[in-house]
Every structure is written in C-alpha cells, then in structure tokens.
C-alpha cells in the first residue's frame, strides 16, 4: 500500500483560521481546553493513522474477515490496532467525561475522524458505531443502562451496533418483522427476528457487543409508528457489571462485498432458542425517533467516510502527477527535442486535480462546520441561550442529508478522477486508488440511500417549521454575499453565487407551490437534482468563505514581504509555503464557482421544464 498522506495544513486552516474554533473556549462547556491541546490531539491522530492504521489497510482488504461456525475472525493486526486505538482513548474522545469520555469538541473529533477513516475505513467502523450507540444510550436510556454500558463502550472494552435492516425492510424500516414480547419484568422483552447488513454485528475485537435493535412489540400499530428500540447485549450483564450468560444472539453469515473487506457485514439472528432478552429504550412505539439520533450522526459519519477517502486519493494523485513523466509541454509539441515533463504540466490533469481539491476542501468545510454547529448548540444550550441553540439545531438538521448524500456521491467522483490521473496504474491494486474507489462506493448506499436523503431534504427539512430551516441558511448566505460583493479578488465569483442563491430560492418556492396544488409525484422525481443544486450552492458558499479569509492572509503576506508588483507576488507565491497555500485557496474557490456552481442553473431549468418522462415511460421487461 502506498504511503498515507494527511493534509494537515488544510485541516488546521479550516479549524483555526476559517472556523475559529477557539471561540468554543469562551464557553464553560469547553473552557478546560486550549488550542495547544487541540493541535496535540491532531498530531497524535496523524501518528496513529500513519504508523498503525494505514499500514494494515491493504492487508485487511486482501485478507478480509473469516466466518466459521457462527464466529467472525478479523486479521490479528486489526485486533492489535484496536488495542492501541482504545488505549489512546480515541473511542470516547468527544463523549461525556462522566462516563469515561474526554469531552473534546465534536469538530475536533470530526477532524481526527477524517484522519483515521482515510487511513483505514474498515477499522474505524467498529469504534465509530460504538461511540454512536453509547451516545444514544446516554440520551435515551435509563440511569442503569448508562452506568452499566457506556463506560465499557467508551473505553473500548465492549463494542456497539445499530440493527435496523431486515430482508423485507431496508429503507422502509416500518416494514420490519422482528418482534418483542414482554417477559413480565419491567422494561424486559424477548426479542425474536433477523437483521441483515449489520456492520461489526459479530467480531473478535471485544467479548461483548451491545446491539441497539428496532423491533415491534406484540400488538403495536403497523408501520413506523409501531416500532420500539431495545438494548440487546450479546452476553447478558450481571448486576456487578460482569458478563453473564449468552443472550441467544448469533451470526448466521457474513456478506462478501465489493469493498470494506475487513469490516464484517453480518446477518444476525435474535432469539433462535427463545432466550434473547432485550431492554426497552425510552417509550414503546417511539423507537425510530430515538434511533434517528444515531442515524443522523451516522449519516454525517458516512459523508466523512467519502470525504476522507477522496482526500487520501487526491493526495496520492497529486504526488503521482508531480512525479510521473509523460509527454511534452503542449506549447512545445512541434519541438521533437522538447524535454518530457511531469504530467501535472498537462492542462487536463490540472483540471482533474483542482476539481478534486475543490470538492475535498469544500466537503471538509461542510462536515467540519456542521460538527462545529453541534458544539455551539451544546455550549449555548448549557449557557441558557435557547435562541442560539435553536438556530444551530436547525442548521444541523438542514445540512445533515447534504453531508451524507452530496459528500458521498461527489467523493466517489473525485476518486474516479484520481484513478484517471493514474491511468492503467490506478486500475491496478498495487497503487491503492482502486481500493479507495471500492471502499467509498457503499457510502452512497447505506445509512439511508442517497435518494432517501434527497427526499429528507426536500420533503422534510425544507418544509418543517414553515420553511424556517431554509430561511436561516438563506439569512447567513445573504449576509455573506452582501458583505463581500465588492471583494477585490472575488467579486465575480460572489456574483455567480448570488445568482445561484436566487435560483435555489426560486426553485424551492416552486416546489412549495406544487405541493399546495396536490402535485406530489413531480417533486419526488426532482428531489435528488434539488439536493445536488443545494449542495452546489452550499459548498461554493463555504469555499468562497474560506477564500475571503485566505485572500486577507495573502494580502498581509504581500505587504509584510514588500511584494507590490504582479511579478513579485507571483515569485512569493512560488517560493513561500503559506503564500502558495492561500493563493491556491482563492483559485480553488474561483474554479468551483465558475466550473461547478453554474450547474445550478441547468438543474433549475430542468425542474422548470415539468418533464415527467421518467414517470410516464412504460419500461419493457
């Protein structure tokens, strides 16, 4: 496997120069931390990723996991890495210190998550799901559940899962048939049923696995309104916290997949012998409401999966383009003696590189900013600032489907371009790009297929609270464009963003009119194009926000170094690392605004066409 590269410079820029996460330190919730601690955590994450996780990534892909007599065996190197990971306290880095977490801001956890996921996505699924399950138990479980399970999960002693999907109930979760029968003891039920596609549903990292299972209590209403949530351990837990008897949860098989080979995807059987005990979380028939907390966190995590792998692939393709000698400079084509040049000289290669760079950095901003909003939500809620907390909750709710769907789809396309830059070598296993491509594809499918995310954005998030979520974002976007419309370096791109904003707002209103007139099918047909449209505007906005910051920093460097002429500025950009970084930020935002953002206008025109061919066509069998 080739070396794993982390873009530490951009990660730190986004955290400290763009988002300014030090403002979190002004709140009591995070006042015990410092920027130095945040940077130390990032540095340690890079070391663990490079020295421990990345070296076993290809091994895990080639060796995979083994299934025999109901047991799943992972590569021994993965178990050793898990021990190092948990000893470092990484599972609970952003979790509640009351239960053994470290309490770091979520945005720092997201940055370290990118570093880990990009190095070995299969490995990170186990601790990622465990943290999500522990957080759900903290929010919705009983005091006894919290004290019994969360500390062992955050320490890494036990792992956790989420169990939703059944053969007949994938995206339509309400069609599930797993049942729950009261035992007579308060909150205790016998669980019976089968779940499929359960990530790390069975493994040998830990002796116990805590499953969060959706099931229907006997006599409950049909559909999603009759679904309840249960905590179902692989082994029951004794009153003293030790592991007790086997809880009748078995693995029937594992899937053989395109990618993420070292992550076991399991069929789980609950109660084959009638002895599987589950403990209800919260109230009966409200399971999907509770599970949505974990699902929404997982959806942002899946977006991060795509972005992390795209970043790793971009870093490799950039270095390959700088080193691979092929052809001559197009301006020297007629000179038979012209020297052969690195392919990064060729315009089409540069187009593919800047496309990747724009998306990697734009999606990073989207995911980090959403996580940062989560921290501001938590801090403002603790400080009693209810209105501010509501604002951040609304923005998180609005951005979540975009984080998942727009990130995963466009990350996959970026990795395709990385492979294209490598040519035939990229299609070969030796160079690592093809594994990134395979490992990333699942991100558009699981945790709610991307079409479902588009429906969530248009059908729920845009409509709820009378359109308040969308208007909150429009208010922020308007403030940015108004403030920067005369920017000396970016005025043209801000103007394009304004037009994109107007097209998005007009299209959003047109859907509202359709719904009021009873036209329901056409908006559903156009939900995914709308989500793409929203993502283009949002990511362009975030890239231009970064460019404004970078432009100011670049101007300060020019002034400090006495670079006043165009030639002296170009020379400084060539020779000075920071000047080069900031100038690239500006050019990247310009590229996206001019190359990608105009797709918004084509999508708007498509939606306006009212063409319903996809609904009207009769397909031949």
Q: Is residue 538 part of a domain?
A: yes
Give me the residues of the chain with pLDDT under 70, please: 1
What element of type H or E holds 267?
A: strand 265-270
**597 and 510 co-located in one domain:** yes
The CA-based angle 542-545-546, given to 5 degrees, is 90
CA atoms within 13 A on the CB side of 454: 21
Q: What single string gives the DSSP state of each residue in 54-75? A: GGGHHHHHHH--EEETTEEE--
**16 and 132 co-located in one domain:** yes
Does 447 qualify as catalytic in the annotation? yes
**495 and 571 co-located in one domain:** yes
**237 and 270 co-located in one domain:** yes
Q: What single string gives the DSSP state of each residue in 115-146? A: HHHHH-HHHHHHHHHHHHHHHHHHHHS-HHHH
Q: Is residue 305 part of a domain?
A: no
| Residues in contact with 594: Cβ distance below 8 Å, sequence separation at least 6, in sequence order | 493, 496
Name the nearest CA neighbour of 258 among 448, 412, 79, 414.
Answer: 412
Q: What single string gives the DSSP state of each residue in 288-321? A: HHHHHHHHHHHHHHHHHHHHHHHHHHHHHHHHHH
Q: How confident is the model at residue 502, as a pLDDT? A: 98
Domains identified in the chain, total number:
3
**60 and 107 co-located in one domain:** yes
Confirm if 245 and 236 have CB atoms less than 8 A apart: yes
Range of the domain at 115: 8-154
Q: How confident is the model at residue 1, as a pLDDT? A: 66
Q: How confident is the model at residue 399, as a pLDDT? A: 98
CATH number of the domain to which 166 belongs = 2.40.110.20
**149 and 174 co-located in one domain:** no
**183 and 221 co-located in one domain:** yes
**188 and 110 co-located in one domain:** no
Strands 340-342 vs 243-246: parallel, antiparallel or unpaired: unpaired
Residue 210, beta-bridge partner list: 160, 233
Q: Is residue 238 part of a domain?
A: yes
**133 and 187 co-located in one domain:** no
Residue 228, beta-bridge partner list: 215
How many angstroms separate the first and last alpha carbons of the chain? 44
Q: Is residue 573 part of a domain?
A: yes
Q: How confident is the model at residue 39, as a pLDDT? A: 98
Catalytic residue among 447, 483, 493, 545: 447
Of the residues 252, 287, 322, which one is the last residue of a structural domain?
A: 287
Q: Is residue 436 part of a domain?
A: no
Name the nearest CA neighbour of 119 among 540, 430, 432, 372.
Answer: 432
For residues 279 and 458, what is the distance between their CA atoms, to the nearest angstrom?
35
Q: How confident is the model at residue 232, as a pLDDT? A: 98
């Amino acid at each position: 496997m080739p070396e794993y590269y982390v873009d530490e410079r951009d990660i730190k820029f986004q955290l400290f120069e763009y988002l300014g996460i030090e403002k979190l330190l002004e709140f009591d919730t995070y006042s015990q931390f410092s920027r130095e601690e945040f940077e130390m955590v990032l540095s340690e994450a890079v070391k663990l990723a490079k020295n421990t996780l990345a070296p076993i990534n290809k091994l895990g892909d080639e060796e995979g996991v083994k299934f025999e007599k109901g047991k799943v065996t992972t590569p021994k190197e993965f178990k050793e890495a898990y021990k190092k990971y948990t000893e470092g306290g990484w599972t609970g880095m952003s979790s509640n210190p009351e239960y053994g977490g470290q309490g770091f801001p979520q945005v720092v956890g997201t940055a370290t998550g990118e570093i880990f996921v990009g190095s070995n996505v299969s490995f990170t699924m186990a601790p990622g799901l465990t943290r999500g399950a522990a957080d759900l138990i903290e929010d919705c479980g009983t005091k006894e559940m919290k004290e019994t399970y969360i500390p062992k999960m955050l320490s890494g002693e036990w792992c956790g899962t989420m169990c939703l999907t059944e053969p007949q109930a994938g995206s339509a979760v309400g069609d599930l048939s797993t049942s729950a029968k009261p035992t007579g003891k308060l909150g205790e039920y016998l669980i019976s049923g089968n779940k499929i596609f359960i990530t790390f549903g069975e493994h040998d990292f830990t002796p116990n696995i805590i499953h969060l299972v959706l099931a229907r209590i006997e006599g409950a209403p049909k559909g999603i309104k009759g679904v309840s949530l249960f905590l179902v351990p692989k082994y029951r837990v004794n009153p003293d916290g030790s592991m007790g008897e086997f809880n009748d949860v078995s693995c029937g098989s594992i899937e053989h997949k395109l990618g993420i080979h070292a992550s076991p995807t399991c069929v789980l059987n609950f109660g084959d012998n009638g002895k599987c005990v589950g403990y209800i979380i919260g109230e009966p028939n409200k399971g999907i409401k509770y599970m949505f907390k974990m699902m929404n966190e997982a959806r942002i995590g899946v977006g991060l999966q795509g972005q992390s792998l795209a970043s790793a692939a971009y870093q490799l393709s950039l270095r390959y383009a700088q080193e691979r000698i092929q052809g001559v400079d197009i301006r020297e084509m007629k000179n038979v003696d012209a020297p052969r040049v690195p392919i990064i000289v060729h315009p089409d290669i540069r187009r593919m590189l800047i496309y990747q760079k724009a998306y990697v950095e734009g999606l990073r901003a989207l995911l980090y900013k959403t996580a940062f909003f989560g921290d501001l939500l938590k801090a403002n809620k603790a400080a009693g600032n209810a209105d501010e907390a509501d604002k951040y909750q609304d923005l998180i709710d609005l951005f979540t489907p975009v984080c998942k769907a727009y990130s995963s789809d466009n990350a996959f396309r970026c990795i395709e371009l990385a492979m294209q830059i490598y040519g035939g070598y990229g299609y070969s296993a030796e160079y690592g790009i093809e594994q990134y491509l395979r490992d990333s594809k699942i991100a558009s499918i699981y945790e709610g297929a991307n079409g479902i995310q588009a429906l969530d954005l248009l059908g729920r998030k845009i409509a709820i609270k009378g359109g308040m979520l969308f208007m909150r974002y429009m208010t922020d976007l308007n403030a940015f464009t108004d403030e920067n419309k005369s920017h000396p370096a970016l005025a043209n791109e801000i103007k394009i963003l304004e037009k994109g904003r107007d097209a998005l707002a007009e299209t959003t209103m047109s859907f509202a009119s359709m719904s009021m007139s009873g036209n329901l099918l056409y908006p559903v047909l156009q939900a995914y194009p709308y989500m793409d449209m929203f993502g283009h505007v949002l990511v362009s906005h975030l890239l231009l926000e970064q460019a404004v910051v970078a432009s100011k920093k670049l101007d300060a460097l020019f002034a400090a170094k006495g670079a006043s002429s165009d030639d002296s500025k170009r020379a400084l950009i060539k020779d000075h690392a920071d000047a080069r970084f900031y100038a690239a930020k500006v050019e990247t935002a310009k590229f996206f605004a001019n190359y990608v953002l105009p797709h918004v206008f084509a999508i708007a025109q498509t939606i306006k066409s009212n063409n319903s061919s996809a609904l009207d066509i009769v397909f031949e069998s």
